[in-house]
């Protein structure tokens, strides 16, 4: 959520920056400023009314002590009307503050100056590429065919149990999945991230805190009776650990990693490009989350990008990095780098990680602050990244490592799997 003070002071710059997202934010910004002015005027009237009421109450006490009961009773009538007025003002103030908050929730984050202009994923900027794309023999299969041939993932059984998008991993497929989770967590821990386990359901306040609500409400599974949401990413519960927290500068950097299943409705996705593991309703992901001093957050973002690079190098998967354009940038992000692995069998790039800096956008919603050197409260910066999302990494391994007599296991994973081939 953007800060009101920034909107007041930098309205034109914010409106201009949000044009990178292909939106005209001026009407919304103007409404915010009007409501803010109304809220502040109501607050002033309420403060004055309460001050007058307190002053009269003291005067009444003095009059009674002085034996001037008649004069005191006249003033008591005035305090009655002031109490009614303050009640009405307080109700109006609460309603206005709620309307203002709801409007602020609708404004996305301001893109970083390095974010390229553009409308769709086709306008994203490739900034890095590494790894040789393997040459597969004729007849190479996509991962959903390989999964069936070697009986390691059963998509039809998942449909029977839950529905499309809920695969069942079997045998060496399940063990490879578990191996990837352990490998990712070990890599993150070795890089200084503190491993934690978090709930897989969150309350509404947590959804609003990291910006999934109200923006992505339609993509989240909601447990109505308990008013809880299944998490779309570990970013939500991990970052909400710091909701309503005031840190010290010495606490930075805060680095966490967590494995969780993730749940996304992904309504309306059909076609070959979402077959198999390409688009799921339930999938596993290992996440890294950082809380940083604002002066260090972009240095931290670069370190996160290098960390994910190192993992993909060890897996020996060809990958590229994209800087997302304004039109493809997530609602809460100021800058995002997407990692994509090349699927040789599908002849296409598959997104396997997003690494983002949210600057103060989430922290403002979370009320996540720190005390600066002068003892003044400031908003921290939050960042997160997939390290990594499993389905498309697994798809890339199955497809790129396939041979005529089985699927080789990346060397770095063999100590985790206990086998070197799926056959």
Nearest to 114 by CA among 273, 294, 322: 322
Decide if 202 contacts 212 (C-beta within 8 A).
Answer: no
User: Which string of b and e fits 21-55 if b means at least 16 CB within 10 Å?
Assistant: beeebeebbeebbebbebbeebeeebeebbeebee
Cα end-to-end distance, the chain, whole Å: 51
- pLDDT given for residue 267 in this prediction: 55
DSSP string across 223-275:
ETTTTEEE-SSTHHHHHHTTTT-EEEGGG--EEEEEEEEEE---TT--SGGGT
- pLDDT given for residue 4 in this prediction: 95
E-strand ranges in 82-136 read: 125-130
* Average pLDDT of span 325-341: 97
113 Cβ contact list (under 8 Å, min separation 6): none
pLDDT at 272 over 60: no
Instruction: Measure the CA–CA gap between 239 and 241, rounded to whole angstroms.
Output: 5
pLDDT at 269 over 60: no
For residue range 298-323, list pLDDT tens digits in order.
Answer: 999 999 999 999 999 999 999 999 99
pLDDT at 169 over 70: yes
Collapsing DSSP states into helix, strand and coil, what is residue 382?
strand
* Average pLDDT of span 255-278: 81
- pLDDT given for residue 352 in this prediction: 96
362 Cβ contact list (under 8 Å, min separation 6): 209, 210, 211, 239, 332, 368, 382
- pLDDT given for residue 408 in this prediction: 97
Residues making up the chain, counted from first to last: 423
* Average pLDDT of span 376-400: 97
Beta bridge partners of residue 154, listed in sequence order: 168
Instruction: Measure the CA–CA gap between 100 and 33, rounded to whole angstroms.
Output: 9
For residue range 206-227, list pLDDT tens digits in order.
Answer: 999 999 999 888 899 999 999 9
pLDDT at 196 over 70: yes
Instruction: Measure the CA–CA gap between 422 and 406, rounded to whole angstroms.
Output: 5
Q: What is the pTM of this model?
A: 0.92
For residue range 52-92, list pLDDT tens digits in order.
Answer: 888 888 888 787 778 777 777 777 777 888 888 999 999 99
Report percent pLDDT > 70 for the chain.
98
Decide if 78 contacts 54 (C-beta within 8 A).
Answer: no
* Average pLDDT of span 330-359: 95
Instruction: Measure the CA–CA gap between 210 and 207, rounded to whole angstroms.
Output: 6
Decide if 288 contacts 301 (C-beta within 8 A).
Answer: no
CB hemisphere CA count around 373 (13 angstroms): 1
Decide if 263 contacts 232 (C-beta within 8 A).
Answer: yes
305 Cβ contact list (under 8 Å, min separation 6): 321, 337, 355, 385
Range with the poorest average pLDDT among 65-74, 125-134, 176-185, 191-200: 65-74
* Average pLDDT of span 282-297: 98
Choose between 51 and 187: higher pLDDT. Answer: 187
Range with the poorest average pLDDT among 48-57, 71-80, 125-134, 157-166: 71-80
- pLDDT given for residue 70 in this prediction: 75
DSSP string across 147-210:
HHHTT-EEHHHHHHHT-TT--EE-HHHHHHHHHHHHHHHHHHHHTTPEE----SEEEHHHHHHH
């Amino acid at each position: 959520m953007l800060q009101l003070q920034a909107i007041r002071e930098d309205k034109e710059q914010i409106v201009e920056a949000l044009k990178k997202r292909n939106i005209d934010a001026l009407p919304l910004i103007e409404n915010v400023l009007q409501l803010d002015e109304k809220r502040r005027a109501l607050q002033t009237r309420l403060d004055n009314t309460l001050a007058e009421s307190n002053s009269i109450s003291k005067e009444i006490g003095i009059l009674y002590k002085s034996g001037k009961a008649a004069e005191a009773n006249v003033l008591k009538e005035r305090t009655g009307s002031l109490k009614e007025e303050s009640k009405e003002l307080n109700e109006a103030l609460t309603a206005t503050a709620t309307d203002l908050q709801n409007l602020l929730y609708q404004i996305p984050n301001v893109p970083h100056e390095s974010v390229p202009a553009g409308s769709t994923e086709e306008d994203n900027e490739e900034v890095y590429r590494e790894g040789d794309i393997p040459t597969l023999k004729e007849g190479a299969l996509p991962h959903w065919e390989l999964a069936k041939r070697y009986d390691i993932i059963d998509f039809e059984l998942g449909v029977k149990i839950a529905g499309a998008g809920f695969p069942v991993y079997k045998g060496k497929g399940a063990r490879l999945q578990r191996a990837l989770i352990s490998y990712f967590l070990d890599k993150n821990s070795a890089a200084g991230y503190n491993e934690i386990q978090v709930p897989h359901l969150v309350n509404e306040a947590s959804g609003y805190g990291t910006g999934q609500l109200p923006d992505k409400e339609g993509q989240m599974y909601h447990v109505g009776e308990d008013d809880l949401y299944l998490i779309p990413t570990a970013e939500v519960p991990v970052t909400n650990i710091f909701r309503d927290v005031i840190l010290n500068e010495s606490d930075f950097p805060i680095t966490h990693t967590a494995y969780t299943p993730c749940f996304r409705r992904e309504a309306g996705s059909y076609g070959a490009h979402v077959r198999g593991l390409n688009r799921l309703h339930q999938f596993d992901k290992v996440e890294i989350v950082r809380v940083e001093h604002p002066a260090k957050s972009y240095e931290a973002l670069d370190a996160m990008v290098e960390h994910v690079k190192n993992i993909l190098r060890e897996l020996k998967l060809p990958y590229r990095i994209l800087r997302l354009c304004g039109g493809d940038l997530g609602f809460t992000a100021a800058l995002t780098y997407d990692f994509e692995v090349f699927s040789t069998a599908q002849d296409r790039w598959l997104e396997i990680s997003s690494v983002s800096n949210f600057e103060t956008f989430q922290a403002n919603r979370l009320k996540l602050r720190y005390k600066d050197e002068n003892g003044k409260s400031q908003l921290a910066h939050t960042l997160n990244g997939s390290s990594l999302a499993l389905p498309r990494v697994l798809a890339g391994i199955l497809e790129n490592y396939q041979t005529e007599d089985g699927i080789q296991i990346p060397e770095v994973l063999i100590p985790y799997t206990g086998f070197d081939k799926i056959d």
